[in-house]
C-alpha cells in the first residue's frame, strides 16, 4: 500500500526527496549563511517551516509521481503550481499588513529553491531511468487473472519498476487459443518452466493458475523461492501493482485469509472525532462559498437550492444525502434513475462549475456531522443501483461495511463511473481501501482530493 502511494517507485521517489531536500538546505544556507547568530536563527526558522510545506505541496501537486517527473512540460507546470501557493500566501500576508518586507526577504530564496529543484528534477528524470533496473516478472497461468495482470503490467510499463517477460501456460488454461487476440507473449508450457527460468531469469514469479491441484507444484516453486525469486499469488501482486483488488475470479478463501480488513474500535472512535471537528471547521470556513453557491443556483434555474437523495450507508442503512442542486428539477422525470454522463444536458450552467470544483459536495459535511457519512470512505450509491450492481458484481455489498465518504480511494484513483463494468473496477479500489483503512491512508486521500480539485480531474 505504501509503495502505491509513492507511485509504485519508492527508489526513484526517495532519490527525488533526497535531492530536493539537499537543494532546499544548500539554497537557504547560501542565502541566509553568515556568521551572525540572527541570520543563523532566521535560516533555521525558515528551514523548519519550508520543509513540511514542501512535502505537503509536492505530494498534492503529484511531484512524487514518476510519470509527472518524466514529462518536462508537465513537471514545469506542477512545480510552478507548487511554488505559487507559498508566494500567494506571502503576498496576501504582506497586503494585509501593508508591509512587504517579509515578501522581499523570502521571495529570492523561494525563487532560488524553485529554479534549482526544477533543474534537478529535469536532470533526474533523464538519468534515473538509466540507473534503475526494472524487475523481471514472469506470470504462470494464461488464465483470466493472468491476462488481467499482464494488461496491468503493460499499463505500468512507463513507470519502469517492472519488466513483463511473458506468460507460461498450464495444461488446463482455457484461454490458450486467444494468444494472438490479447497480444500476450506465451513463452511455453508449464512443463518447460525450468528451461524458461534459466533463459529469462525472472526476479518475480506470479502464480495465476485456476486449477491448482492439476498443474501447481509447490515443491518446484519453493525451490525457486529459496534461490531468491519472489513468488506472489496473482491477487496479491495485482493489488500491490494497481492499488485495487482483483474482483473477478477472486476466491472467497483469499478474502478470508488475506491480511487487513481489520476494524479496530479505537481507530473508528478517533476517526469519528476527527469527522466531527473537521466537518464543523469546514462548514465555518466555507460559509461564504456556500452562500455564494446558493445565490448563483437560485439565479441560474428554478428549483430548490439543496438537492436531497436517498443513499445506502453503513450496514445498508438508507439516509438522505445533501448536495447543491446541479441539474434541472425534472432531470429524471421521464428516464428514471440513470447515471450521469459526460456532457450531460441535464446539468445546469452553474451546476457544471459546482461539479468541476466539487463545491456541490460541500453540503455533505452536514451528513458527516450527523454521523451518516465520513470525510473519507467509499462514495455512497443510490438504493436502485446497489440492488442492480449486487446482482452482477461479486462482493459488491462488502463495500457497505464502512461509512461512505465525501471522498475516497476510488474517487481519487478512478474516473466517474457510468456503467456496470466501471462500477466493478471502482469496487476494487473500495475493497482496497477497506482492507488497508487507516488514518494515514485517509490523510493521503485528503491530499489527493486537493490535487484533483486544483487540477480539475474527473469531474462531469
Task: Tell me the pLDDT tens digit for each residue of 243-252.
Answer: 888 887 777 7
Residue 8, C-alpha cell as written in the block: 509504485
Q: Is residue 392 a contact partner of residue 420, using CB atoms and an 8 Å limit?
A: yes
Query: According to the model, what pLDDT value does residue 32 have?
Result: 64
Q: Are residues 115 and 176 in the same domain?
A: no
Q: Are residues 221 and 275 in the same domain?
A: no
| Residue positions counted in the chain | 460
Q: Are residues 438 and 377 in the same domain?
A: yes
Q: Inform me whether the pLDDT recorded for 443 exceeds 60.
A: yes
**Residue 285 maps to a domain:** yes
Question: For 111-138, what is the mean pLDDT?
Answer: 83
**Residue 318 maps to a domain:** yes
Q: Inform me whether the pLDDT recorded for 230 exceeds 90.
A: yes
183 to 186, 199, 427: CA distances (angstroms): 9, 21, 27
Q: Is residue 412 a contact partner of residue 374, using CB atoms and an 8 Å limit?
A: no
Q: Are residues 295 and 313 in the same domain?
A: yes
| Total structural domains within the chain | 3
Q: Are residues 445 and 322 in the same domain?
A: yes
Query: According to the model, what pLDDT value does residue 458 have?
Result: 57
CA angle, 373 as apex, 366 and 447 as ends, to 5°?
A: 90
- What residues make up the domain containing 151? 135-242
Least confident of 114-128, 204-218, 294-308: 204-218
Query: According to the model, what pLDDT value does residue 6 have?
Result: 45
Q: Is residue 23 a contact partner of residue 38, using CB atoms and an 8 Å limit?
A: no
Q: Are residues 166 and 221 in the same domain?
A: yes
Q: Are residues 272 and 357 in the same domain?
A: yes
Across 184-198, 207-221, 399-413, the highest mean pLDDT is recorded for 399-413
- Provide the CA 374 distance to its chain's centre, in angstroms: 18
**d(C-alpha 99, C-alpha 459), whole Å:** 40
Beta bridge partners of 118: none
Q: Are residues 445 and 380 in the same domain?
A: yes
Amino acid at each position: 500500500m505504501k509503495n502505491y502511494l509513492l507511485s509504485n517507485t519508492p527508489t526513484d521517489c526517495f532519490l527525488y526527496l533526497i535531492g530536493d531536500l539537499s537543494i532546499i538546505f544548500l539554497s537557504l544556507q547560501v542565502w541566509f549563511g553568515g556568521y551572525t547568530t540572527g541570520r543563523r536563527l532566521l535560516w533555521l526558522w525558515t528551514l523548519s517551516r519550508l520543509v513540511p510545506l514542501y512535502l505537503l505541496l509536492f505530494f498534492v501537486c503529484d511531484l512524487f509521481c514518476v510519470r509527472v517527473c518524466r514529462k518536462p512540460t508537465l513537471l514545469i507546470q506542477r512545480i510552478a503550481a507548487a511554488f505559487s501557493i507559498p508566494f500567494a500566501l506571502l503576498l496576501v500576508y504582506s497586503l494585509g499588513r501593508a508591509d512587504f518586507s517579509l515578501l522581499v526577504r523570502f521571495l529570492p530564496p523561494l525563487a532560488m529553491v524553485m529554479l534549482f529543484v526544477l533543474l534537478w528534477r529535469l536532470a533526474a528524470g533523464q538519468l534515473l531511468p538509466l540507473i534503475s533496473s526494472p524487475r523481471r516478472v514472469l506470470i504462470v497461468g494464461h488464465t483470466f487473472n493472468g491476462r488481467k495482470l499482464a494488461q496491468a503490467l503493460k499499463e505500468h510499463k512507463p513507470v519502469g519498476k517492472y519488466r513483463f517477460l511473458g506468460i507460461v501456460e498450464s495444461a488446463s488454461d482455457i484461454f490458450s487459443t486467444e494468444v494472438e487476440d490479447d497480444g500476450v507473449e506465451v513463452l511455453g508450457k508449464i512443463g518447460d518452466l525450468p528451461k524458461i527460468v534459466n533463459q529469462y531469469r525472472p526476479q518475480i514469479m506470479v502464480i495465476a493458475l485456476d486449477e491448482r491441484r492439476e498443474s501447481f507444484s509447490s515443491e518446484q516453486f519453493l525451490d525457486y523461492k529459496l534461490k531468491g525469486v519472489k513468488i506472489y499469488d496473482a491477487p496479491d501482486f495485482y493489488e500491490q501493482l494497481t492499488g485495487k483488488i482483483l474482483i473477478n475470479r477472486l476466491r472467497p478463501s483469499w478474502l478470508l485469509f488475506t491480511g487487513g480488513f481489520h476494524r479496530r474500535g479505537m481507530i473508528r472512535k478517533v476517526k469519528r472525532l476527527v469527522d466531527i471537528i473537521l466537518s464543523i471547521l469546514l462548514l465555518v470556513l466555507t460559509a461564504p462559498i456556500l452562500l455564494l453557491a446558493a445565490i448563483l443556483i437560485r439565479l441560474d434555474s428554478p428549483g430548490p437550492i439543496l438537492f436531497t437523495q436517498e443513499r445506502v450507508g453503513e450496514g445498508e442503512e438508507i439516509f438522505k444525502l445533501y448536495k447543491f442542486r446541479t441539474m434541472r428539477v425534472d432531470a429524471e422525470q421521464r428516464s428514471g434513475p440513470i447515471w450521469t454522463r459526460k456532457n450531460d444536458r441535464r446539468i445546469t450552467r452553474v451546476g457544471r462549475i459546482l461539479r468541476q470544483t466539487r463545491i456541490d459536495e460541500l453540503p455533505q459535511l452536514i451528513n458527516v456531522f450527523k454521523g451518516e457519512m465520513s470525510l473519507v470512505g467509499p462514495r455512497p450509491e443510490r438504493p436502485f443501483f446497489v440492488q442492480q450492481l449486487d446482482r452482477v458484481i461479486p462482493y459488491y455489498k462488502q463495500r457497505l461495511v464502512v461509512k461512505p465518504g465525501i471522498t475516497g480511494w476510488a474517487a481519487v484513483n478512478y474516473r466517474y463511473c457510468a456503467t456496470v463494468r466501471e462500477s466493478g473496477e471502482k469496487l476494487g479500489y473500495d475493497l482496497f481501501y477497506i482492507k488497508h483503512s487507516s488514518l494515514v491512508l485517509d490523510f493521503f486521500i485528503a491530499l489527493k482530493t486537493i490535487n484533483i480539485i486544483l487540477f480539475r480531474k474527473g469531474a462531469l
